[in-house]
Amino acid sequence: MIDFRPVLFVNGFLLLVLALAMGIPAMVDLSAGDEDWKVFAVSAMVTAFAALSLIFGTRAKGRPTLSARQAFMLTTLAWISTAAFAALPFAFGNLHLSPTDAVFEAMSGLTTTGATVIIGLDHAPRGILIWRALLNWLGGEGIIIMAIAILPLLRIGGMQVFRMETSDKTETIKPRITQVATSITLVYVVFTVLAALAFWAAGMGRFDAVCHAMAAISTGGFSTSDTKLAHWNTAVQWVAVFAMMVGGSSFVLWTGPWRRGRPRIVDDAQAHWYLMFIGTAAGVVALWQWAVNDMSLGVAVRHATFNVVSTVTSTGFVSTDYGTWGGFAHVVFFILVFIGGCTGSTAGGVKIFRWELLFALAGIHLKRLLHPHGIFVIHYNQRPIAPSVLDSVQGFVVMYFFTFALFALGLSVVGVDFMTALSGSAAALANAGPGIGEVIGPFGSYRPLPDAAKWILAVEMMLGRLELFTVAVLFSRSYWRE
């Protein structure tokens, strides 16, 4: 029988962090004279009570350790419990969201999806706006640490390539969590501060600059305006492009020791693919807009680059309604949703690393047609890739598209139209935010969807954020056997 005490103990600390974070919007509302500060204060107390109950009720002697099975449970339970308590201010605040909408908004924020059910953000209370940005920011940091410290040891989707320790002789997970969390948090905070200063210098107000910096670096996409970044000037949009690209890059490569006087990310193969893919896709879309839709070249480059970067990094910001660009743009952005950013980033999607290996694998199959007896080895950053990693990647991609199809089917069953079901399922699984179509398009909202569809999408957001197998393994009988 699995010992749940270490899992609940760690969850208690995560809820305690969430309770402390609720104090920020409470102070913002209090300073603005908004009565919602009481809602955040009470929500913080309730969350803190639950957190302390878990911490003191499950505390064991000595330093707690997590086995691989407990880690699977921890990653899933952490997102469920934090989303449930993070929904309290949405449900009981001035917005008076229904329980379904409140959980949807909280899950969207913590998984950095950016899909929203709130309409009228331009006039929403500041406490709610900063709370949404904080959920993006906290969720983004948690995602990075999970991707670097936990998933490699659980061998999820080829992530074992990025493991921090070389020993496979024990099931006990003892990564250097403290060192990793400290270094990543430091870099994460520095980039957020730099982004906020850049947004402010480009013309945003201080409050909006802070909110958008947290949403951009976390690739969360929650904005303070219904029209998102289309509400601000060109300089602000270019700042957002660079902030989103940083959020979609591998943070662990920013924290490690520099080589030859430059950060390791400069020499990383995944980063090269990332930039090459963004540049190619943005160039194609810009050329299409300039040649076919008669958009001036400068404007075409800006909007194409912005929206391609936003989609690939699964941020969800938009600079204009690309839903009016025609069928070609719809197809391009639908494909881009599946790409994703770098491994070790806050971005969702399949991830550049997996696409790199899949293309290399396809190339080897072509070579074997001409050289049946040849021996070919796939390398990543000058290191050979083990067959088990390739198997994990292929299994993940198959599971990813099967999940996308299954949830799209589920959305259609509850009454969602074809385009919304397809794009909504893709956006939720990739944690990308906006879909395609009139309902959930670039300037749309998920509010009109039926409650059943919102619950389906909330579950899919979590599945996509936790790399599918982390949750799926909990439903296998072998997981529960001793």
Contact 348, 340 (CB under 8 A): yes
| Gap between the Cα atoms of 64 and 341, Å rounded | 33
Tokens coding 286: 């810009």
Binding annotation = 112-113, 220, 315, 431
Nearest Cα to 313, choosing from 249, 398, 236, 401? 249
Helices within 383-450 (DSSP H only): 387-413, 418-429
Contact 312, 264 (CB under 8 A): no
* Segment holding 66, helix H or strand E: strand 66-67
| Gap between the Cα atoms of 435 and 439, Å rounded | 8
Nearest Cα to 149, choosing from 282, 45, 252? 252
Q: What is the DSSP string of 258-287?
A: PBTTB-GGGG-HHHHHHHHHHHHHHHHHHH
Contact 180, 145 (CB under 8 A): yes
Cα–Cα separations (whole angstroms), residue 139 to 93, 201, 462, 471: 21, 26, 11, 17
Strand ranges for 144-201 from DSSP E: 172-173
Rg (alpha carbons) of the chain, rounded to whole number:
22
| Gap between the Cα atoms of 399 and 59, Å rounded | 37
Contact 316, 212 (CB under 8 A): no
* Segment holding 175, helix H or strand E: none
| Gap between the Cα atoms of 294 and 73, Å rounded | 53
Measured in degrees and rounded to the nearest 5, phi and psi for residue 66 equal -120, 125
Binding annotation for K(+) = 112-113, 220, 315, 431
